[in-house]
Amino acid sequence: MTFSASQIAQIINGKLEGNTDVSVASFGKIEEAKKGQLTFFANSKYEDYLYQTNASIVIISEAYLLKQPIAATLIRVKDAYSAFATLLTKYQEIVQQTLSGIQEPSYIAKTASYGENVFIGAFVYLGEKVKIGNNTKIYPNTFIGDNVYIGENTIIHAGVKIYHDCQIGNNVIVHAGTVIGSDGFGFAPQADGSLTKVPQIGNVVIEDFVEIGANATIDRATIGSTLIKKGAKLDNLIQIAHNVEVGYSTVIAAQAGISGSTKIGNGVMIGGQAGIVGHIQIADGSKINAQAGLGKSLKKPGLAVTGSPAYDYSQAIRSQAIARNLPDMEKRIKELEALVKQLLAERVP
């Protein structure tokens, strides 16, 4: 597909500088882009590449002042990164619109139903009473269990497994290999030391505009629902345990693990490999650094924590600064001890 500069400017509400008729057919990084490609400039670290790029079109901030002429056509916008993301989203929508229909072989239960313009790839399994909304894409080798509901404009990538009774909202993206609705980790210790499995009879509810990365696992609730609220973004390789709630527009980076029944507020940021114990609450806007181990509730909104066990980020930074100065402090203490001994010796009659 080919797009002209004027078409692109209209999509992202930008202002053109240069040849309005130039066209592009693909995207490229600013340091690698070639003629016929579009790129963007949003980070000052790449400023040198702006004047060297061979890209035909560059999306750029309206506030940036050129230091020298460049050959590429410019499209000026308020926020170059956001405009580029908007353009990529539009491009992806156009590409995915070409996918529709039902590939064979696939299994669709007689009681399953689906809306208009859906795509169901080869080797997909749709269980009893499954409901799929309009324009949703289910890629090959996906398993959808009984009584699952999937809304409109949702994308379920290859190899995803969604267990029975789970609910997926509109405009959700679930990447390859993710498992939604597997049993929560619940076992009751017995008098003889054995462990009896506690049936997990709840489900998982994923609200609208959520994105879940590849090979993530979200366990079903023991009773009730494990809940991922609207706009949350989960990275690859994340474990969400039973009865967890993840708040609106919260982001969780790769390899983080959230233990059962923990309630995470809105707009929370959780770094990679962070571990969070169960049955605690995390206030809105909290920031949990990578590899942090959080063992208690964060009740104050906006607090940043780091370390294991996790504690206040600003205090941690001061502690690290002190630790770096310990060798010099040790030297000074020894000098003071020597001086004290000398003064005491001089006072002896």
The SS3 call for residue 217 is: strand
C-alpha span between 342 and 325 (Å, rounded): 26
Verify whether residue 175 is a known catalytic residue. no
Q: Are the C-beta atoms of residues 270 and 254 closer than 8 Å to each other? A: no
The catalytic position among 157, 164, 175, 242 is 242
| C-beta separation of 152 from 169 below 8 A | no
CA distances from 21 to 7, 10, 24, 50, 72 (A): 9, 13, 10, 21, 12
Measured from the Cβ of residue 227, the count of other Cβ atoms closer than 10 Å reads: 22
Question: For residue 226, what are its two tokens?
Answer: 């494990």
Picking from 200, 142, 133, 201, the residue whose alpha carbon sits closest to that of residue 168 is 133
Nearest to 101 by CA among 130, 137, 126: 137
- Give the Cα separation of 180 and 51 in Å (integer): 47
Of all helices (H) and strands (E), which one includes residue 133? none
- Mind telling me the catalytic residues? 242
